[in-house]
Amino acid sequence: MRPPIRRRYAAVAGLFAVLSCTLLVAGCGGGSSRAATDPEVYLEPAAARGPDPYTASTVRNDIGPPPTGPSGVPSSPAGGQTLRTLSGSTPGLYGGTQSLGSCDVEQQVNLLVADQAKERAFARAAGVSQTEVPDYLRGLTPVVLRADTRVTSHGFRDRTATTYQSVLQAGTAVLVDQYGTPRVRCACGNPLKPPVAVKGAVVHNGQSWAGYQSDRVVVIKPTTQVINNFFIVNIVTNTWIDRQAGTDGELDKRPDVLPPVTPDDVFVYPPVMPESGDSDVPSDGSLTPTTPEQPVNPPVETPAEPPVDTPSEALPPPVNPDVPSDEGVTPSQPDLLIPNEEPASPDTFQG
């Protein structure tokens, strides 16, 4: 009798597991089924813990004032669902404070490893083994979002993992991976992944904030090359910081070559510079200065001949710009720079 009972038990257990995945959205296979179909997007202010937190906040309180969000003309009509996509290597995409990480990574490690169920669920969402969680967290880079950003968030409720689409407010402290992608929200310890497009009209839940506009939310695209250095903006002084990936800010320095855009213009739309893609930034994170356009001199006009009824000796001798004058100085011509081409339109994400 035992074998049939075991078979019936296995069948019931399997059915229960399927129902659990459907009803609890527990992340079987990543929990992306709900994220890909449910039109709900949760708004998470920078200081809020948000739904289903994994841990207490590990945000450092002395990281400075929150940065301002994107400015300029909206990238799509009001209420539209087309979001601007930026590469994770874009200079100025993230901010921070000189020599100080936005998150306490060691505290985050301690909070997760103290709860085996949370650590196991976190590892599954992050795509690493449970034993790799501490090293995984220590390999991330603490920064601050400089624009409202769409992500896939993972929560932990009733000892079960949850998955939902959310928008993180500019000023949110996050840990990013070597491809420039946000991986942990430090206010709650929740693992993050790139967003998934939803079907139908988007329904926004949660708590909005002053200045929030759905058409100015950005999507961060992971790079295909490893980023060794992030060019972030000092949110206190609005200057550039070169932060080595995987550090807590202790090696911060001024970039050897400044990015070809000011911190205030990173999110202006239309953009003031071509979007930084994988081909624009080498794998070591350095920027190659753009070669200036060669100046072009205007054509030299030939001096007009004097009227026939004017004595030639009453006129000064003509001056040939190509021949030195009596003082041995060649008159210079004003330079005309070739205007730069208009930057290509950024990628879009259907939200």
- What average pLDDT does the segment 285-298 reach? 36
Task: Write out the H or E segment, with its range, that includes residue 17.
Answer: helix 2-24
| Per-residue pLDDT tens digits for 203-236 | 899 999 999 998 899 999 999 999 999 999 999 9
- This prediction has a pTM of 0.67
Q: What is the pLDDT of residue 244?
A: 98
Sign of the C-alpha dihedral, residues 258, 262, 264, 269?
Answer: negative
pLDDT tens string 229-288:
999 999 999 999 999 999 999 999 999 999 999 998 888 866 554 444 443 333 333 333
Residues in a beta bridge with 185: 174, 190
Cα 81 to Cα 43, 166, 255, distances in angstroms? 15, 14, 36
Nearest alpha carbon to residue 216 among 290, 269, 252, 179? 269
Residue 348 clears pLDDT 70, i.e. is over it: no
Amino acid in the structure at residue 35? A
d(CA 235, CA 60): 14
- pLDDT bin (cut points 50, 70, 90) of residue 186 is very high
Phi, psi of 287 (to 5 degrees): -115, 135
Query: pLDDT tens, 3-30?
Result: 444 444 444 444 444 334 333 333 333 3
What is the β-pairing status of strands 94-96 and 229-234? parallel
- C-alpha–C-alpha distance, residues 267 and 170, integer Å: 12
